[in-house]
């Protein structure tokens, strides 16, 4: 039995990851704003500190894996919330878990997004990469939701790529999954909003394999990256998107 912790395990992809880890016989500590072992709001500094302090107590013996999954969708306002949860909240939780995962030579998986490789706002992404939360949040509020969301996931994925070698020397393998369209509460909300419904229906219809992904598809990929079978995989971004990325960027990989 392994010891795992994660953010965002209350619903959607995170809940499927938690359930799969439970089915495999592991213990999972969930950090989430609701329905969690550690309830914390990762949009705020106080919430992040509370989450990390509680996790350090619960998992003092070490963790075999940590998954940074919590996030809000591109339709959530103010858009600065996307910045503070999806980027700064994710990194704070990973940094809080790092030494615990290192104790067990474990693995870290970041839930990024296929949106990370779409058009982005250079200034916003630069502010994120410089760690300027106040300025990046202010910039997000001047953008549209998709640009704030995609830029946040791009910066998060770059952060993973920049830090995975340092983490590897500590015994921690770090990777990301990049989900494409996946049927979760986050997407259902957007898919039924007048502003996003049409674009989302078109996007869904374009998925090469002909169907939308499920949270269980994302959980399968995440648990593979966490497992010893993936021991030589480090710093990779695994697209779990039914072929959408290859369709949009056939010459990039
Ligand atoms: P979801 O809304 O079902 O799950 C998000 C989880 O994050 C929930 O448990 C929620 O309570 C938690 N959360 C939200 N705000 C929080 C906060 N301030 N503090 C702590 N926890 C908070 O959505 P999902 O689709 O399962 O999303 C999970 C991850 O997958 C997100 O990072 C999202 O960006 C990413 N993703 C989803 C899709 C998709 O199509 N559904 C595609 C690409 C990436």
pLDDT of 190 above 80: no
pLDDT of residue 111: 98
> Which 8-state DSSP code applies to residue 217?
H
Could you tell me whether strands 38-39 and 27-32 are parallel, antiparallel, or unpaired per DSSP bridges?
A: parallel
Region of residue 8 (left: phi > 0; alpha: psi -120 to 50; beta: else): left
pLDDT of residue 53: 98
CA dihedral 74, 39, 58, 235 (to 10 degrees): 0
List pLDDT tens digits, range 67-124. 999 999 998 999 999 999 999 999 999 999 999 999 999 999 999 999 999 989 999 9
Tell me how far CA of residue 224 lies from CA of 79, 109, 138, 156, in angstroms.
32, 10, 37, 21
> Which 8-state DSSP code applies to residue 89?
I
Q: How confident is the model at residue 186 (pLDDT cuts 50, 70, 90)?
A: confident
Which of 69-83, 183-197, 211-225 bottoms out in mean pLDDT, i.e. has the lowest? Answer: 183-197
Identified catalytic residue from 87, 120, 124, 149: 149
What are residue 154's phi and psi, to 5 degrees? Answer: -65, -50
Pocket test for ligand 1, best of 5, 7, 14, 41 (most atoms within 8 A of CB): 14
Percent of the chain residues topping a pLDDT of 90: 92
Quick one: how far is CA 204 from the chain centroid?
21
Average pLDDT of 225-247? 98
pLDDT of 24 above 90: yes
pLDDT of residue 196: 81
Q: How confident is the model at residue 181 (pLDDT cuts 50, 70, 90)?
A: very high
pLDDT of residue 199: 87
Q: Is 179 in the pocket of ligand 1 (CB under 6 A)?
A: yes
pLDDT of 210 above 80: yes
Known active-site residue 4: no
Q: Is 241 in the pocket of ligand 1 (CB under 6 A)?
A: no
Nearest CA to ligand 1 atom 44: 113
Task: Give the distance (Å) from ligand 1 centre to CA of residue 246.
Answer: 24
Residues 6+ positions from 11 with CB-CB distance below 8 Å: 35, 184, 185
Task: Give the distance (Å) from ligand 1 centre to CA of residue 32.
Answer: 10
Q: Is 72 in the pocket of ligand 1 (CB under 6 A)?
A: yes
* Separation CA 162–CA 117 (nearest Å): 16
Q: How confident is the model at residue 191 (pLDDT cuts 50, 70, 90)?
A: confident
Q: Is 145 in the pocket of ligand 1 (CB under 6 A)?
A: no
Which of 51-55, 75-79, 99-103, 196-200 bottoms out in mean pLDDT, i.e. has the lowest? Answer: 196-200
> Where along the chain do its domains lie?
3-240
Residues 6+ positions from 244 with CB-CB distance below 8 Å: 114, 180, 181, 203, 206, 207, 208
Instruction: Give the CATH fold of the 3-240 domain.
Output: Rossmann fold (3.40.50)
Q: Please return the burial class of 161, using the count of CB atoms within 10 Å of its CB with bins 0-12, 13-18 and 19+.
A: middle
Q: Is 80 in the pocket of ligand 1 (CB under 6 A)?
A: no
pLDDT of 137 above 80: yes
* pTM exceeds cut of 0.75: yes
Quick one: how far is CA 225 from the chain centroid?
14
* Separation CA 91–CA 94 (nearest Å): 5
């Amino acid at each position: 039995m392994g010891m795992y912790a994660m953010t965002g395990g209350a619903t959607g992809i995170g809940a499927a990851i938690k359930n799969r880890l439970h089915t495999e016989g592991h213990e999972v500590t969930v950090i989430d704003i609701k329905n969690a072992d550690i309830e914390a709001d990762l949009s705020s500094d106080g919430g992040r500190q509370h989450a990390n302090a509680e996790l350090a107590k619960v998992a003092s013996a070490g963790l075999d894996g940590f998954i940074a999954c919590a996030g809000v969708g591109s339709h959530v306002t103010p858009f600065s919330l996307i910045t503070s949860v999806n980027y700064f909240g994710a990194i704070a939780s990973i940094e809080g878990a790092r030494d615990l995962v290192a104790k067990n030579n474990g693995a870290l998986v970041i839930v990024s997004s296929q949106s990370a490789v779409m058009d982005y706002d250079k200034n916003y992404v630069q502010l994120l990469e410089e760690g300027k939360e106040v300025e990046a949040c202010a910039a997000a509020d001047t953008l549209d939701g998709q640009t704030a969301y995609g830029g946040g996931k791009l910066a998060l994925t770059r952060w993973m790529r920049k830090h995975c070698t340092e983490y590897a020397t500590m015994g921690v393998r770090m990777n990301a999954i990049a989900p494409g369209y996946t049927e979760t509460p986050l997407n259902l909300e957007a898919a039924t909003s007048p502003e996003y419904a049409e674009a989302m229906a078109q996007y869904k219809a374009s998925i090469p394999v002909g169907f939308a992904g499920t949270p269980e598809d994302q959980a399968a990929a995440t648990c593979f990256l966490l497992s010893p079978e993936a021991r030589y995989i480090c710093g990779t971004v695994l697209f779990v998107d039914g072929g959408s990325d290859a369709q949009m960027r056939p010459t990039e990989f």
